A and B are shown apart, each in its own frame.
Chain A
Amino acid sequence: MSQIIEINSLIKYFGPVQALKGVTFSVEEGEIFGLVGPDGAGKTTTVRMLAGVMDIDSGTAMLGGFDVKQQSEQSKALIGYMPQRFSLYGDLTVEENLDFFADLYDVRAQERVEMKRELYSFSRLEKFRKRPAGKLSGGMQKKLALACALINVPKVLILDEPTIGVDPLSRQELWEMLLKLNKEKGVTILVTTSYMDEVERCGRVGLLFEGTLLKVAKLESILTGGKRFEEIFISEMEKQKNMKRL
């Protein structure tokens, strides 16, 4: 299997603070990769740099063989990106938002009609077409954001904490949508989360803590000895803290 995402010694400074201290990992085509860690670990910074939204201070990020820094146009064409905060136009309707992103990505007439029909049925947003996006519930907003991120038929979907502030039922629905995309269309998914139960839906996970990647492993290989993922994660964090003390 080929590596569709390759991240190598990524470093980012915010002023004097080193937010990422050399993060290296790769994601295989067709897998669901979870980047897990507490708030402030550097998850959002990592995916923002991968999506080309933020400058890379040092290190490289490759998407489908394209360097994110040097070949940003090609690499951006491969991805759909869903930022952490709801970032659609609240004063535009659901349909206007979809149309706007379709226009940005040059999705033309016939293709667009089909794409929209598919996304509507997929997200069940059809009956809210005329509603301003700002007046949707949190869960529906996320679905709309996902639909907009899918408008250019991406090979890689990058989701930053997609279920934050979403009720349990909508969370369930959103994950079903993601799994379906992954299974039926073979879309590679990179997702950041701090919900431990969501981790268990990922094939492989990376544990990020204070800008350092502690461990990357298949979920099954981590979940040994009947321990829950949370316990393992906390013990890894403790180890790291102890090492610092020494």
Chain B
Amino acid sequence: MRRIIELVRKEFIQTLRDKRMIGLIFVAPLLQLIMLGYAVTTDVKHIALCVWDNDRSRESRELVSKAVVSGYFDDSGTVGSDEEMERAFKSGRSDLVIYFPPEYSKRIKRGEKAKVELIADGSDSNLTNIAFGYMGQIINLENNKLQIENVARLKAAKGAEIKVPLIELKPRVLYNPEMKSANYMIPGEIGLILTLITILLTSMSITKEKESGTIEQLIVSPLRSSEVIIGKTIPFAVIGMLIVLFIITGGIFVFNITLKGNIFTLFFASFLFLLNTLGIGLFISTISKTQQQAMLSSIIFILPSIMISGFAFPVSNMPIEIQWLSYLLPLRYFFIIIRGIFLKGAGFAILWPEMLALFLLGTTVFILAALRFRKKLS
């Protein structure tokens, strides 16, 4: 026990004395918090809209100004020909072009069907979909308005009661009502940073002993393998928990995210998750000889696991084989848990299957790594 404490103490002194480590531990979470909170946003606003107006009427101008007033579109000038439109797309001046054919307003006034054409850049498929959606909504509202005006005119002319059936959509968002992407991203960041830092630190700290030869002294000493493993993982578990606390505080006070669930449930889940990442770090250290190898192996594991575990892209959209693969990734469960606790206020009653999965995966990885971790030189 005493020996473990001393190993932990030594590890802390070494880690805190290494300036690069300090950078990794303190600056990385801060940078990510700022980037994910402010910069990385899936909220789409300021879509560059160019107008190709061959009608030049009050009606066409009105539709454009409604789009701009909504805040989703920015007026990005006009185009007058196919070539000009292409240039606007290629130079990035335009994301979307709205084309009004001649007679647009006349057809409306005559009570006929008027056509508007939307031409999109399309290289960013997500942005294009959202732009079409917003513009569709704006045109729908305009349609409704025209219908109602029409009915009112008819009523005045004929004095008869005319009913117009309309379906009105009233969307209500439960758990992230402002649809802020920070609300979704920052809890996810806990998983991201914990993965990155604990896997890297654990694998590198053990391979550092291999590289510098100090592992030989540890092997000769009466330390048991289990004591080395525990002594080497506790410091990073503690650092991991501090990072969790840091991100929660930053999220709440800087980005006004409300933690709906229980903070202790969150810490408990983080602990279960750490069991996984520390085990993975330990495992990587058993297959790496140098710190560089450990770092590369860590990155090779971390990057795809962030991609397919639902940090930014929904798992349910992925091919079924990838979805199966994602069941093996602790991050997949952890993202569900932290977002559940943060945004929905969920607790053990709801999240226990994910927590159980984390526990089982974590103990398996940890035991596998511990079995591979032998106190011998090869």
Contact = CB atoms under 8 A, between A and B. Distances in A.
A52 B6 CA distance: 23
B3 interface: yes
A52 B220 contact: yes
Contact of B14 (A48, A52, A53, A91): A91
Contacts of A113: none
A101 interface: yes
Contacts of B10: 89, 92, 96, 100
Contacts, number: 70
Contacts of B376: 53-55
Given A53-B219, A76-B222, A91-B17, A103 B3 contact: yes
Contacts of B218: 104
B214 interface: yes
A74 to B, nearest CB: 10
Contacts of B223: 104
Given A54-B376, A76-B220, A83-B217, A90 B212 contact: yes
A18 interface: no
Given A53-B220, A104-B3, A83 B14 contact: no
Contacts of A238: none
Contacts of A88: 214, 217
A148 interface: yes
Contacts of B3: 103-104, 106
Given A54-B377, A73-B222, A92-B10, A87 B216 contact: yes
B161 interface: no
Interface residues of B, number: 23
Interface string B1-33: 011001100100110011000000000000000
Nearest to B227: A104
Contacts of A86: 213
B140 to A, nearest CB: 66
A85 interface: yes
Contacts of A85: 212-213
Contacts of B7: 104
Contacts of A105: 221-222
Nearest to A73: B222
A79 interface: yes
Contacts of B216: 48, 53, 81, 83, 87
B377 A48 contact: yes
Contact of A103 (B2, B213, B217, B220): B2
Nearest to A90: B212
B147 to A, nearest CB: 76
A201 to B, nearest CB: 24
A137 B222 CA distance: 29
A77 interface: yes
Contacts of A32: none
A90 B44 CA distance: 52
B221 A104 contact: yes
A101 B219 contact: no
B221 A101 contact: yes
Contacts of B18: 91
A52 B14 CA distance: 26
Contacts of B213: 83, 85-87
A51 interface: yes
Interface of B: 2-3, 6-7, 10, 13-14, 17-18, 212-223, 376-377
15 contacts: A73-B222, A76-B222, A81-B216, A83-B216, A87-B214, A87-B217, A91-B17, A92-B13, A92-B14, A96-B13, A103-B2, A104-B6, A104-B7, A104-B223, A105-B221
The 8 closest A-B pairs by CB, nearest first: A87-B213, A103-B6, A85-B213, A104-B221, A83-B216, A81-B220, A53-B219, A87-B214
Given A76-B222, A87-B213, A89-B214, 5 more contacts: A53-B216, A53-B219, A100-B10, A103-B6, A104-B222
Interface of A: 48, 51-55, 73, 76-77, 79, 81, 83, 85-92, 96, 100-101, 103-106, 148
